[in-house]
A = this chain, B = another copy of it.
Amino acid sequence: MGNCLVAQSGGPTAVINASLAGVIRANQLNPIYDKVLGGIHGVEGVLAGKLYDLTDIPGDEIEILRQTPSSALGTCRYKLKRGQEEDFQKLVSVMDTNDVDTMFYIGGNDSMDTVDALSEWAAAHGSEKRFIGIPKTVDNDLVPPDHCPGFPSAAKLANLITHATKLDYDAYTRPEVFVLETMGRDAGWLAASCCLTGDVDLVVLPEVAFNKDEFLQLVQKKMDSQGSCYIVVSEGAHYEDGTYISAGESANDGFAHAVLGGAALTLKQMIVDAGIAPRGVVQGLSRAARSSNFAQSKVDVTEAYELGMSAHMRSASPDFTAQVVGVHRGDVNGEYNAEYFAGPASEFANFVKAFPAEWIRPDYAGVTDAALDYFRPLVAGEPDIIYGDDGMPKTVKPYNLR
């Protein structure tokens, strides 16, 4: 079938390389493609003809690639838009030049839309090029699958840091509040997942319009009853009118440029200014949340790897195109079990899965048991990390830098 091409797009995750490793390994087990070429920096590099031969990477490097966080091929935010005829032609011409008939694209909603748009274009132009999507996103907001590779590891790190910092916070007698901020611009999956540890008093999600007065009353109540209040806030938390919590205060407080840590800093300051606590501690997860190779979720890295393999294996059928692979939640004797499936790219591209309203408890009091049941199996299992002599998890040198 000639060669295949694999590229990565959007924000990196702790396991996006596991999916890449899965594609490469699958082709070593069943070499249906002569070569597996890596496209550097997503479609941006592919359009520039930047490809890197990954076909014969040795088994031990594949194992290290599996546990290397971030995108080893580099990433891009460039979006191929329908109607950009020149880009489409250029991309197909690069594929032709390199004898590529199938492209695997690992990414989030936008990347799955690229898969859809390229497939449409190919069909409309009588091209036999095929485009197949492998999902990833720490935002966990794709509709058809139960969850998205990258999210469980981010949730695991968020839980590890929540519990560790809660223990640290509880060691003191002095009155102060603790505010942890997680990624999550539009959906509160990651912030909500922090409730798993049982340590969180109040959670502020983007799904619920923020009411300052109500919130401060609840903080006051916690401080009065237990002398402490551990708060988790999603970076995208906002007021009724859509103004971000951070942005709302920044006009006055000068936090305008505090892109990260903005919501947590603002909440802390709000509480201090209201005289509820004389001080507070702010903990941001920032980029560490999505690059935690030292705290990969075992379920996550396994699924990400197997989704890469599944996409490759399904592509043995010549008519497999415009499809994205994913995981449904199965149940075997009451235990979580991943069930792999494939569906139309259009279904992955055009919808955003919000954190379910019925899983949110009122009064910022966290999430329901149903939500915890959803999260629990995703973070379970300890990772099998290969360490170097330096005591650090081994990582591959990014291919995009070579």
Whether A391 lies near B380 (C-beta < 8 A) is: yes
Let me know if B390 and A171 touch, CB within 8 A: no
- Give 1 or 0 for each of A288-332: 1 = CB within 8 Å of chain B CB: 101111110110000000000000000000000000000000000
Q: Is the CB of B287 within 8 A of A171?
A: no
Q: How far apart are the CA atoms of A343 and B202 in the complex, in Å?
A: 47
Of B12, B173, B379, the contact of A391 (CB 8 Å cutoff) = B379
Interface 1/0 per residue, A369-402 and B, CB below 8 Å: 0000000100111100101011111010010110
CA distance A376 to B392 in the complex (A): 11
Cα(A391)–Cα(B50), bound, Å: 40
Copies in the complex: 2
Closest to A71 in B: B171
B residues in contact with A395, CB < 8 Å: 163, 167
Tell me which of A23-31, A74-82, A232-240, A352-360 binds B. Answer: A74-82
Asked if A265 is at the interface of the complex by the 8 Å CB criterion, the answer is: yes
CA distance A234 to B387 in the complex (A): 27
The answer to whether A265 touches B257 (Cβ under 8 A) is yes
A70 partner residues in chain B, CB cutoff 8 A: 164, 167-168, 170-171
Contact B400–A171 (Cβ < 8 Å): yes
A346 within 8 A of B: no
Given A265-B258, A272-B257, A379-B391, residue A76 in contact with residue B165 (CB < 8 A): no
Identify which of A12, A161, A164 gathers the most chain B CB atoms within 10 Å of its CB.
A164
Q: Judge whether A214 is part of the interface by a CB distance below 8 angstroms.
A: no
A17 nearest in chain B by CB position: B167
Task: Decide: A392 and B159 in contact? CB cutoff 8 A.
Answer: yes
Q: A197 at the A/B interface (Cβ < 8 Å)?
A: yes
Q: Is A1 an interface residue (CB 8 A)?
A: no
Smallest Cβ distance from A349 to chain B, in angstroms? Answer: 22
Is A41 part of the binding interface, using a Cβ–Cβ cutoff of 8 Å? yes
**Residue among A8, A69, A174 with the highest chain B CB neighbour number at 10 A:** A69
Report chain B residues within 8 Å CB of A173. 41, 44, 74, 76
Measured CB to CB, the nearest residue on chain B to A269 is B257
Interface pick from A96-104, A121-129, A276-284: A276-284
Q: Is A68 an interface residue (CB 8 A)?
A: yes
How many Å from the CB of A303 to the closest CB on chain B? 14
With A281-B286, A381-B391 in contact, is A77–B174 under 8 Å at CB?
yes
A400 to B173, CA, bound (A): 10
The 6 closest A-B pairs by CB, nearest first: A254-B254, A70-B167, A164-B291, A380-B391, A71-B171, A382-B387
Please list the residues of chain A having a beta carbon within 8 angstroms of any beta carbon in chain B.
Answer: 8, 12, 41, 44, 68-71, 74-77, 156, 159-161, 163-165, 167-174, 196-197, 253-255, 257-261, 265, 268-269, 272, 281-284, 286-288, 290-295, 297-298, 376, 379-382, 385, 387, 389-393, 395, 398, 400-401
